[in-house]
Structure 1
Amino acid sequence: MRLSVLDRSHVGLGLSPQQALRDTVRFAQQVEDLGYHRFWVAEHHSVPGVAGAAPTVLAAAVAAATSRIRVGTGGVMLPNHQPLVVAEQFGVLGSLFPDRIDVGLGRSVGFTDGIRRALGRGKEAAEQFGDQLAELLGYLHGRSASGVHAVPAEGLDLPVFLLATGSGATTAAEFGLPLVIAAAHGDERMIRTIEEYRADFRPSAQAAEPYVVLARSIAVADSTERARRLLVPEAWATAYSRTHGEFPPLEAPEEILARSMSDRQRAQFERALRGHLFGTPDEVAAGLQDLVARTGADEVLVTTTAHDPADRLDSYRLLSRVQRTPTPVG
């Protein structure tokens, strides 16, 4: 199965966002050596525990530090930006790093009123996603209705992927684009969404047939319990964000597990630990094979968030051994 990487540049407690970004670039070099297919970075604004705020800039640094792995965004939140600027940015990336750049797009807008004001966007911006996407594709393909040209992007083969947030799957099918989807509301709902995407897919210049990238949080270690402990820092940060309104820097798992939690905190924490795939290499390989069999996914986009970068790399190293290389798409 084809495996790729999504890295959000998480900040460890006591470390700086600057160090987190440098760690992302180094991590990309390491997973390239392990044979992963893509390395994507994300867009988050005003999050204490996440340094990845400018994905196209970070993608440029990653692409410059690597030589073979595809590099992209998971994703640029299009409602936060002008389509022309996004097309030009990816045009620059595609020109400097030919045949290695992916355009991953999402439809989310800033999560709080303050962020939306700072970005100059309102909640309604997400409802204009279809029009923004059509405009962006026009620039990328040199068919802009306005007559304006995103000069560095025209003529380049830049694969465009859509993240299935909100109506993303419907939009991906309508525009004939590959779909990136996670089980945010459970596997069964995700599978139904994938089936609807495939049924409604319209072939396009971007993709002749449906292509599904399954995003999944995965942790691998030499024991099931050790793998589960790798999930603890992000689970606690997620639980904290639901009770305090912000995602904090990651703490060590032993500190979190020794903490006294209220009933509400404990419930949120346990809930955040669900839905991940974790275990020994054999356990995770079996889980992945079952998941791919049930979804028909063409690719798995893996996120592993561990407090210790060495533990994270070990997880990806163990996971890389279950990878098989199919015929490339994009």
Structure 2
Amino acid sequence: MRLSLLDRSRTRTGHPEAAALSHSVERAVNAERLGYARFWAAEHHAVPGIASGSPAVLLAAAGAHTSRIRLGSGGVMLPQHQPLVVAEQFLMLQALYPDRIDLGLGRTLGFTEPVRRALRQNTDDVDTYAEDLAELLSYLDRSAAVTARPLARQSPQPFLLATGQGLKTAAALGMPVVVGGPILQDPDISEAMTAYRRDFIPSSAAAEPAVIISTDVYLADTEAEARGLALPEIYAMARARETGAFGPLEPVEEIRSQKWSAQTQRRVEKSMGRAVAGTRAAVGSRLEQLVETTGADELMVSTSTYDRQALAGIDAEMAQLVTG
């Protein structure tokens, strides 16, 4: 089982927002030392809790400080970009760091209506996502009428961040997939993975289907400690549902000292119940179950917490647990 890391460049109270980017580069360096297969960077725009709006820029910085680990986007949100521009950015990265670049692609729109307007997104626009994906792939395999540059010996490896309909799109275009979020809790996930593999059409992107599952993981000596590590991220998400603002990570003690609304309490409890959080044995069992259900070839950990030392410890524990 290969192990990879998705980093969201989470901001933290008490730290400048820019520090989140240097923290991400440091995490990439550590992930390479621990033997992780990939380091991926997320894309979010105008979100106070996330500093990375441009994965390509952050990956260029991570590449300058690493030498072996694969670098990728988790992902570039294609509705926000022109396919040719995305191809050029990642071909540049491939030229700088040969045979190390992945291009994870998603379709999430802006977090709020003002952000969607700033990104020139219109909900009334015709959905051209599948066509844009096909166009982007044509630039990477050089079958398009326009040649994206710079020319590289090998193109970046594309992936699709897929749920539901996305799995069908990935199968039709012959793309490997990264599956995460609520779909991993879906009782029909096994059938969806079977359908993806059955309907997969080999392409220039991949000769055969491949599945990476992505999830937050919190390891500690006790379940209570693990749940405490999970709290900053879960609380930020619960508050975002209530206020519309996804904020920085906060220390556990500060979160617990605040007055929570009943709605926030319910959301935190519900999310905590779904979290992969606990002792090494409990987490290992849960991950084995996920891998068995999905038939995944690789696990991508997307954990965030306020305590950076604890986060580094989780990364190290996961390397021991998954890769030995």
The equivalent residue for 1:271 is 270
Q: Aligned-pair distance for 1:64?
A: 1.1
The equivalent residue for 2:113 is 113
Q: Aligned-pair distance for 1:255?
A: 1.9
Residue pair 2:160, 2:178 contacting (<8 A) in 1 also: yes
1:191-210 matches, cutoff 5 A:
191-210=190-209
Residue pair 1:180, 1:215 contacting (<8 A) in 2 also: yes
Q: Which amino acid is the alignment partner of residue 236 of structure 2?
A: A
SS of the residue 1:284 aligns to:
helix
Q: Aligned-pair distance for 1:222?
A: 2.0
Q: Aligned-pair distance for 1:126?
A: 7.8
CA–CA separation in structure 2 for the residues paired with 1:161 and 1:127:
20
Bigger mean CA deviation after superposition, 161-170 or 127-136: 161-170
Q: Aligned-pair distance for 1:154?
A: 5.3
The equivalent residue for 1:160 is 158
Residue pair 2:189, 2:293 contacting (<8 A) in 1 also: no
**What's the CA shift string for 1:234-272, capped at 9, x where partnerless?**
111001000000101111112212332221121122123
Report the TM-score, using the length of structure 1 for normalisation: 0.94
What is the count of residue pairs matched by the alignment? Answer: 323
SS of the residue 2:310 aligns to:
helix
**What's the CA shift string for 1:261-320, capped at 9, x where partnerless?**
221121122123232212222222222122211211000110111101100000111111
Residue pair 1:220, 1:316 contacting (<8 A) in 2 also: no
1:107-256 matches, cutoff 5 A:
107-124=107-124, 127-144=127-144, 147-153=145-151, 155-165=153-163, 167-185=165-183, 186-256=185-255
SS of the residue 1:320 aligns to:
helix
Matched, 1:9 2:1: no
Q: Which amino acid is the alignment partner of residue 197 of structure 1?
A: Y
Matched, 1:85 2:85: yes
**What's the CA shift string for 1:142-198, capped at 9, x where partnerless?**
111xx2210215542321000014521111000111011114142424333222211
* Structure 2: runs of 5+ lacking an equivalent: none
Residue pair 1:7, 1:24 contacting (<8 A) in 2 also: yes
Q: Aligned-pair distance for 1:112?
A: 2.4
CA–CA separation in structure 2 for the residues paired with 1:150 and 1:171:
23
The equivalent residue for 1:328 is none
Report the TM-score, using the length of structure 2 for normalisation: 0.95
The equivalent residue for 1:306 is 305
The equivalent residue for 1:98 is 98
Q: 1:136 to 1:125 in 2, by over 3 A?
A: farther
CA–CA separation in structure 1 for the residues paired with 2:290 and 2:77:
27
SS of the residue 1:222 aligns to:
coil
CA–CA separation in structure 1 for the residues paired with 2:323 and 2:243:
42
Matched, 1:317 2:316: yes
* Structure 1: runs of 5+ lacking an equivalent: 326-330
CA–CA separation in structure 1 for the residues paired with 2:258 and 2:303:
23
Q: Aligned-pair distance for 1:324?
A: 3.1
Q: Which amino acid is the alignment partner of residue 175 of structure 1?
A: L
SS of the residue 1:24 aligns to:
helix
Q: 1:120 to 1:183 in 2, by over 3 A?
A: closer
Q: 1:298 to 1:177 in 2, by over 3 A?
A: same
Residue pair 1:181, 1:190 contacting (<8 A) in 2 also: no
**What's the CA shift string for 1:53-88, capped at 9, x where partnerless?**
111111111111111110000000011000010000
Q: Which amino acid is the alignment partner of residue 214 of structure 1?
A: I
